[in-house]
Amino acid sequence: MQVSIREWQIGDIGKIAALEKQCFSDAWTEEQLFQTFSRKEFCGLLIETDDKRLVGYVCAISAFEDADLLIIAVAETARGQGLGGKLMDALFEKMRLQKVERIFLEVRLSNAAALALYEGRGFTTTRVRKKYYADGEDAAEMVKTL
Ligand SMILES: CC(C)(COP(=O)(O)OP(=O)(O)OC[C@H]1O[C@@H](n2cnc3c(N)ncnc32)[C@H](O)[C@@H]1OP(=O)(O)O)[C@@H](O)C(=O)NCCC(=O)NCCS
């Protein structure tokens, strides 16, 4: 599959929200995505096929030397082909240009694919937060130094 990565534009928010709904039970709404996109500290990247089909996205908010990875998702039919890894690497590159030194995130302990992606990219768990999610699941807090 031929893909390319670019920054989010305002016109992408609708299709990102649609993919978000397919990927998460607690999906961000179009409004929440738009609000976050509008912040000046926002960085959003997406990955699309040659025929402009959205297959994945990632976004983060930075504050000086720290950033929080907010969401990463790849369409179910496109998983396991390295696209999540490509998105992470592109985000790291952007963050380095902005002089970000550390990226933080939270992940459900049951999310084996995401944990494998993060650990493979050098994130380490700093603590487990009990009942972090609305459904009572615990989260691992992770950090990576760029
Ligand atoms: C997490 C997610 C983004 C990974 O995307 P992906 O494109 O499938 O990831 P990649 O193909 O780049 O794989 C990354 C690594 O994870 C591993 N991996 C992928 N799926 C896996 C699974 N189901 N179980 C264990 N490891 C898995 C791969 O082997 C790969 O390891 P490597 O880098 O050592 O080769 C994707 O599964 C997804 O969108 N899940 C739903 C949304 C989600 O949970 N997002 C994260 C929480 S915000």
* pLDDT for 62 beyond 90: yes
Do the beta carbons of residue 34 and residue 14 sit within 8 Å? no
- Per the prediction, the chain carries an average pLDDT of 97
58 closest CA partner among 99, 103, 2, 25: 103
The tally of domains found in the chain comes to 1
Nearest-angstrom CA–CA distance, 142 and 92 = 15
Spell out which residues line ligand 1, taking CB within 6 angstroms.
Answer: 23, 71-74, 79-85, 107, 111-114, 116-117, 120
Nearest-angstrom CA–CA distance, 44 and 15 = 14
CATH number, domain containing residue 43: 3.40.630.30
In DSSP terms, 43 is beta-bridged to: 60
Token output for 99: 């002089």
Distance in Å, CA 38 to ligand 1 centroid = 28
Mean pLDDT confidence for 11-30: 96
Contacts of residue 109, Cβ cutoff 8 Å, sequence gap at least 6: 115, 128, 137, 138, 139, 140
The residue whose C-alpha atom lies closest to atom 10 belonging to ligand 1 is: 82
Ordered DSSP codes for 78-97: GTTSSHHHHHHHHHHHHHHH
What tens digit of pLDDT does each residue of 107-126 get?
Answer: 999 999 999 999 999 999 99
The pick from 23, 28, 74, 132 for probing ligand 1's pocket by mutation, whose C-beta has the most ligand atoms within 8 angstroms, reads 74
What tens digit of pLDDT does each residue of 68-85 get?
Answer: 999 999 999 999 999 999
Nearest-angstrom CA–CA distance, 85 and 19 = 18
Query: In terms of residue numbers, what domain contains 60?
Result: 3-145
Whole-model pTM?
Answer: 0.96
